[in-house]
């Protein structure tokens, strides 16, 4: 199972490190290795979030995520995206931007880091919306019940998440964005515009995917109603036994989303991955300003995140350790705040990665304690409908 899931990651690692050694020697090999570890540490929570979404999709779209998705993640976000940012901010043509990235690395680094306020505002708002929608949602299983229970009541107000996110954006634009470090000056307008764009992107992609997901559920409910008792029995027989033949917490069937619903869910996944990659791309400049070393190192790390996502889905880890998704969403909230803070302040990537790992580790341990208390190895979250809290 482990080799089957991580086989491609191991192969890409071996090939990537060998290529780095041939092209840039021992120094290049070390840089690529460090960048890979940086990407994995920064995006570990991304794998948990991705797994929670990917398990809703059918086998075909899971394969699309692993093939087309990895191409977008590695080449799109780690190689093409920084060049596009330079082209837009410096008002250069695509060829000029590529030439700058290859032949004038210092200026290229300066232009990419100069675009950081806009990148951080966009990614920070998108991730913040993911966190807020999760924390304000009414759910049967709660990790930090003392916090999540009152917040879920506030979440009954429509658009409450968007209002809070806009308030955070206004505070950010009028405080940290007014005097950006390294001679950036006042970036309030840039931060406001980019933050609103991030918020709109989330609302559009998440809204469309949610619409098709709900429509698919309604169609299946209608078919079940028309089929009667015999139809229901037949449908139950077709559902995977390992999932209990039921529905996930989102209401999507365990058979998996397909068609338009899966397509927009796939887009949602890619935007999430893009938002997570922002801090990795910017942070990589502290190690190297060579675009190819950066793409290779971050690409290897991205492969492991994809493999880890699939591993979590196939093992049913999120069902066995029910607080993992909570910890990952809290890590997303922390990353969103950190991204917005980095508009003005320098925050070491080690801190960013450590916060995420610590929160996921705490949620994992709470899940283990809960499983021991309940007297099972996991999976009870899909069987019981009563409210459960960790007692933390």
Question: Tens digit of pLDDT for each residue in 300-341?
Answer: 888 888 888 888 888 888 888 889 889 888 988 998 898 899
Angle in degrees, 0-180, between the axes of helices 81-89 and 291-315, rounded to the nearest 10: 130
- Residue 18 confidence (pLDDT): 92
Average pLDDT over residues 87-94: 79
User: Which residues are within 8 A (CB) of 303 and not within 5 positions of it... i.e. 6 or more apart?
Assistant: 8, 9, 12, 13, 70, 74
- Residue 382 confidence (pLDDT): 41
Average pLDDT over residues 244-248: 38
H helices within 155-187, ranges in order? 160-174
- Residue 231 confidence (pLDDT): 47
- Residue 313 confidence (pLDDT): 85
Task: Extract the tokens encoding 97.
Answer: 């931007």
Res 208 pLDDT > 60: yes
Half-sphere exposure (Cβ direction) of 246: Cα atoms closer than 13 Å: 13
Tell me the pLDDT band of 156, cut-offs 50, 70 and 90. confident
Tell me the pLDDT band of 164, cut-offs 50, 70 and 90. very high
Average pLDDT over residues 261-282: 77
Res 173 pLDDT > 70: yes
Q: Please give the Cα distance from 290 to 344 (Å, whole number).
A: 25
User: Which residues are within 8 A (CB) of 261 and not within 5 positions of it... i.e. 6 or more apart?
Assistant: 209, 212, 213, 215, 216
Angle in degrees, 0-180, between the axes of helices 116-135 and 105-114, rounded to the nearest 10: 40
Mean residue pLDDT across the chain: 78
- Residue 171 confidence (pLDDT): 93
DSSP helix/strand/coil, 308: helix
- Residue 115 confidence (pLDDT): 81
């Amino acid at each position: 199972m482990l080799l089957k899931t991580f086989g491609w990651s191991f192969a890409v690692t071996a090939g990537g490190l060998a290529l780095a050694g041939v092209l840039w020697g021992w120094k290049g090999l070390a840089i690529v290795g460090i960048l890979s570890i940086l990407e994995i540490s920064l995006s570990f929570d991304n794998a948990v979030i991705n797994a929670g979404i990917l398990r809703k999709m059918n086998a075909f779209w899971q394969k699309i995520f692993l093939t087309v998705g990895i191409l977008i993640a590695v080449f799109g976000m780690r190689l093409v995206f920084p060049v596009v940012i330079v082209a837009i901010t410096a008002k250069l043509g695509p060829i000029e931007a590529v030439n700058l990235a290859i032949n004038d690395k210092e200026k290229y680094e300066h232009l990419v880091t100069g675009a950081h306020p806009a990148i951080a505002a966009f990614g920070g708002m998108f991730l913040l919306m993911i966190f807020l929608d999760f924390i304000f949602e009414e759910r049967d299983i709660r990790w930090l019940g003392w916090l999540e229970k009152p917040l879920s009541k506030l979440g009954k107000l429509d658009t409450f998440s968007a209002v809070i996110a806009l308030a955070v954006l206004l505070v950010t634009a009028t405080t940290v964005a007014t005097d950006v470090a390294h001679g950036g000056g006042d970036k309030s307008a840039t931060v406001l515009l980019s933050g609103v764009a991030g918020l709109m992107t989330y609302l559009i992609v998440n809204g469309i995917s949610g619409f098709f997901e709900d429509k698919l559920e309604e169609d299946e409910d209608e078919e079940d109603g028309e089929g009667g008792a015999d139809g229901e029995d037949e449908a139950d027989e077709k559902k995977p036994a390992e999932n209990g033949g039921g529905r996930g917490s989102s209401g999507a069937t365990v058979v998996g989303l397909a068609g338009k619903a899966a397509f927009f869910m796939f887009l949602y996944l890619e935007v999430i991955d893009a938002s997570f990659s922002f801090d990795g791309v910017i942070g990589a400049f502290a190690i190297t300003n060579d675009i190819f070393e950066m793409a290779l190192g971050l690409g290897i790390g991205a492969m492991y995140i994809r493999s880890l996502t699939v591993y979590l889905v196939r093992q049913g880890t999120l069902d066995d350790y029910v607080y993992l998704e909570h910890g990952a969403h809290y890590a997303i909230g922390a990353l969103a705040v950190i991204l917005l803070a980095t508009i003005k302040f320098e925050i070491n990537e080690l801190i960013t990665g450590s916060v995420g790992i610590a929160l996921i580790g705490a949620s994992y341990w709470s899940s283990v304690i809960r499983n021991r208390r309940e007297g099972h190895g996991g999976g009870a979250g899909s069987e019981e409908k009563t409210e459960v809290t960790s007692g933390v």
